Structure 1
Amino acid sequence: MTFFWVIVSGAAVGLIFDFYRSFRRWQGWGQVLTFIGDVLFSLVALFILFRFFERANALAFRFYIIWGCLLGLVLYLRLLSRFFVRFFFGIYRVMTYLAGIIHRGIMIPIRGIVLIMRLPYAILKWFSMLVYRIGEIFLLDVIIHTKRRLKRWWNSRIPPRTNG
C-alpha cells in the first residue's frame, strides 16, 4: 500500500506539471513570470510529495520512495500526459469563449449608454465652447489691459539704471 501512494505522488506531480506547463504556454509568459511560476510549481510539488509521503510511511525516508515517485511520474508522462494536456487546452478554449461572451454581454449596456449620451454630450460640448469663447472676448481685453497697467506701475517703482 505504501508503494502505491508513492507512485500516486509521482503521478500527481506529473499532473500538476502538465497543468502548469499548459497554462504557461496558453498565457505566453515571459522569462520573469516563468521563473516565478517555476518556483511556485516547485513549492506546490514539494507540498504534494510531503503530503503523500506522510500518508505513505510517516515521512520515513526510504530509497524505494524515490524510485516509486519516479515510476509514477514516468507512467503518468507516458500514458496520460497527452490526454490531460489536450483536456487543459480544451478547458482554456472554453474559458476564453465564455470570457468573450461575458465581455460582449457587458459591452451591450455600455454601448447603449454611449448611444444615449451622444446628444447630451454634444450639447454640453457646444455650450461649454460657447461659454469659453464669450469669456475669452470679455475677459481677454481686461486681462491684457491689467497686465500692461501692472507692468507700467512696476516699472515706475524701479529707479532708472545709471551707467557709471
Structure 2
Amino acid sequence: MAGVVVGIFFDFYRSLRHWLKWGRISTWAGDLLFSLAALFILFRFFLRANALDFRIYILWGSVLGLFLYLRFLSKLIIKMYLRLFYMISYFFWLLKEGAKIPIRGVFVLMRPPYALLRWFSFLIYRILEAFLAQPLKQIYLKAIFFWERLFPPRTKG
C-alpha cells in the first residue's frame, strides 16, 4: 500500500509539473520537496506497519506496490489528474468571467454621469477661457512692456 500511495503522489506531482510547465530550477526544487514528502509517507507507513522496525519485506512490498501501480494504473491516474486540472482552470476562468459582469455593469451605469461631468468640465473650461484668457494675456503684455521700459535693449556702439 505504501508504494501505491507514493505512486499516486508521484503522478500528482508529475502531472502538476507538466501542467504548470516548470523550468529547471523549479523542477529541481519540486523534486526535492517530492522526495521529502515521499520519505514522510513511507515513514508513516513503516511506523504503522512495524513501529519503524525496518524489515526487508516491507521495503520489497513498497517497491512492488510502486512497480505494480506504475505499470497498471499510472496512465489512467495521470489522465484523471490532467482532467481535474483542466476542470479547475475552467472553473477559475468562469469565476473570472463572472466577476467581469458586475464590473461591466458599473461601466455601463457610470457612462452617463461621466459624460455629463466631462461636458460640464469642458463648459467651465471654455467659460474660464473666455473670461480669463484675454485679461491674462493683457497683463502678460503689460508686464513685458514694463520690463522693456525699465531695461531697454542695448545698442551696439
Question: TM-score if structure 1 supplies the norm length?
Answer: 0.71
Q: Structure 1 residues 58, 99: closer, same or farther in 2, change over 3 A?
A: same
The number of equivalent residue pairs is 141
- Which entry has the higher C-alpha Rg, 1 or 2? 2
Where in structure 2 are there 5+ consecutive unaligned residues? Answer: 148-157
Over residues 74-93 of structure 1, what are the superposed CA-to-partner deviations in whole Å (9 max), with x where a residue is unaligned?
11100110110111111112
Q: Paired residue for 2:87, among 89, 94, 113?
A: 94
Over residues 39-79 of structure 1, what are the superposed CA-to-partner deviations in whole Å (9 max), with x where a residue is unaligned?
22122111100100001111112223322221111111001
Aligned residue in 1 for 2:103: 110
Aligned residue in 1 for 2:60: 67
Q: Distance in 2 between matches of 1:79 and 1:26?
A: 22
Q: Distance in 1 between matches of 2:33 and 2:129?
A: 62
- Cα deviation for residue 29 of structure 1 reads 1.9
Residue 61 of structure 1 aligns to a residue whose secondary structure is coil
The alignment status of 1:20 with 2:13, answered yes or no, reads yes
What code does the residue aligned with 1:109 have? P
Identity, % of aligned pairs?
Answer: 51
Over residues 128-154 of structure 1, what are the superposed CA-to-partner deviations in whole Å (9 max), with x where a residue is unaligned?
556567778959x59x96xx89xx9xx
Question: TM-score if structure 2 supplies the norm length?
Answer: 0.73
Q: Structure 1 residues 54, 101: closer, same or farther in 2, change over 3 A?
A: same
- Cα deviation for residue 126 of structure 1 reads 4.5
Runs of 4+ in 1 over 6 A off after TM superposition: 132-137
Q: Distance in 2 between matches of 1:47 and 1:35?
A: 19
Aligned residue in 1 for 2:69: 76
Q: Paired residue for 1:36, among 21, 29, 32?
A: 29
Residue 54 of structure 2 aligns to a residue whose secondary structure is coil
The alignment status of 1:47 with 2:40, answered yes or no, reads yes
